[in-house]
Amino acid sequence: MKYISTRGQTAPMDFSDVLLMGLAPDGGLMLPESYPQVDSATLNDWRQMSYPELAFAIMRLFATDIDEADLKDIVERTYTESVFGTSDITPVRKLEDNLYILGLSNGPTLAFKDVAMQFLGNAFEYVLKKKDERLTIIGATSGDTGSAAEYALRGKDNIEVFMLSPQGKMSAFQRAQMYSLTDDNIHNIAIKGMFDDCQDIVKALQQDADFKEKYSLGTVNSINWGRILAQVVYYFKAYFAVMDSAVQDSDKKVSFCVPSGNFGNICAGHIAREMGLPIDRLIVATNENDVLNDFFNQGAYNPRPADKTYVTSSPSMDISKASNFERFIYLLLERDTDRVHSLFDGVKSGKGFDLSDVMQTVSSRYGFAAGKSAHSDRLATIKDLYDNYNDLIDPHTADGVKVARELQREDEIIICAETALPVKFAETIFEAVGPIDIERPEHTKGLEDLPQRVVELDNKPSLVADEIRKVVAPSA
């Protein structure tokens, strides 16, 4: 399988090259030339597989340049009970009739990002060793990507990690997870601005061809295809778990509701659906930063500038420029690379775009719907689930449950993607249900009391580039 750019100016590449690259040289996002198709017989074969078996079966369709025995080893070392606390890796639990929660936050940093990052860390190390190369990871985080990446890459050979986060905009737990790491290859940078500013700096340095080549830049943000691929797996696993958990009425359909900021997680669901997984709808749940909600309901995509992005109690979704959105628009516009390039160049310069003329295709062909949730909604949802089901969820997952309940159709099963464990957002949990003891894994106890290491910088790509130059020697 070969990979191409959404902007059409990059030669077809192998999976291993795409894995290390981040943004395409033409500024677009890499994706397969076509998605492999899975028939009903294959789905039946897959439904009884363990998580590592299923991950290997799916990934081998996309990572065709990696020796199958090596890929299997990477997958089996990644998805273990010792890392994720359960052999199910991503267990599904029933909340109420026709409403389920997909548990994605059992990894070391208690967030769904671990499912992909743990794979990425092992895959990076393998590919770099094969190629005898090094990699300088530059990433941006609104809260969870950073810690998941750092825990997956800490101490890895031939990898330096520079993670940008918005100064003062993450929870105390999230900051402690990142800034308390003392590994020599981990470098935290707090940018005076919003997440979108951090993301823009990452893209600016990625698009500086000379700098990118000289310092071997890659990324772990969800623009990285390897992350998207790893996330595709749990959509299949969750679908099988729900359909096998009881004798389901054949008329019922299965949908997913996903809290969304950067469009990475739900993009993986979209790919699973394109492959042939019989998902009915993909429901985008946003917080007050509702740019994606506006698009999927009205057809207008109008990203806000950083100073117009709200700081909310579901901070990992405080994003107004959805970096993975371009992968979907590329298919929606029938692979018109010139138009995609033009639209997203406009976004880069602060312009939006209107595709209201194709919104019927968005819902009927691709199955998308959307809703939004605000602070009062997530507080009410957290309290309701705690009081009535003894089920404590984090604020982002609460956004998903609120939107799922609001949009659920008759006889529609909805699986809500959990994004993190509630202990990461204790302040909001206490506001919703009062001062309770929130369960936390042993390895996180006392985390907030550890010394923290972070460099604070103004919102300038040149300053981040200088930090990289201090640590990484340029290539010859």
Per-residue pLDDT of 59-80, as tens digits, reads 999 999 999 999 999 999 999 9
Given a cut of 60, whether residue 248 has pLDDT beyond it is no
CA distance to 118, 289, 299, 456, per residue, from 148 (Å): 8, 23, 33, 21
**Which residues, listed in sequence order, are joined to residue 188 by a DSSP beta bridge?**
163
| Sign of the alpha-carbon torsion through 166, 171, 177, 180 | positive
Q: How far are the Cα atoms of 176, 260, 283, 435 from residue 172, in angstroms, in the given order?
A: 6, 22, 30, 17
Give the mean model confidence (pLDDT) for residues 339-346. 95
Enumerate long-range contacts of 388-391, CB under 8 Å, 24 or more apart.
389/95, 389/96, 391/93, 391/95, 391/101
Mark whether 348 is an active-site residue.
no
Whether 194 and 167 have beta carbons less than 8 Å apart is answered as no
Options 94, 113, 460, 470, the catalytic residue: 113
Q: Which long-range contacts (CB under 8 A, 24 or more apart) does 243-248 make?
A: 243/47, 244/47, 245/92, 245/94, 248/413
Reported as a pLDDT band with limits 50, 70 and 90, residue 245 is low
| Beta-bridge partners for 93 | 101
Mean pLDDT score of the chain: 94
**Averaged pLDDT for residues 460-468:** 97
Domains of the chain, each with CATH number or no CATH? 92-109+247-433 (3.40.50.1100)
Instruction: Kindly report, residue by residue over 154-174, the tens digit of the pLDDT.
Output: 999 899 999 999 999 988 899
Mean pLDDT (whole number) for 313-317: 92
| Residue 318 near residue 294, CB atoms below 8 Å | no
| Owner of token pair 């294959």 | 42
Residues in the chain: 476
Whether residue 177 has pLDDT greater than 80: yes
Q: Does residue 200 register a pLDDT over 70?
A: yes
The three-state (H, E, C) secondary structure of 217-233, written as one string: EECCCCCCHHHHHHHHH
Contacts of 143 (CB under 8 A, 6+ apart): 111, 165, 170, 171, 174, 315, 316, 424
Query: Would you tell me how many other CB atoms lie within 10 Å of the CB of residue 205?
Result: 24
**How many helices, marked H, and strands, marked E, lie in the chain?**
20, 15
Is residue 22 scored above 80 in pLDDT? no
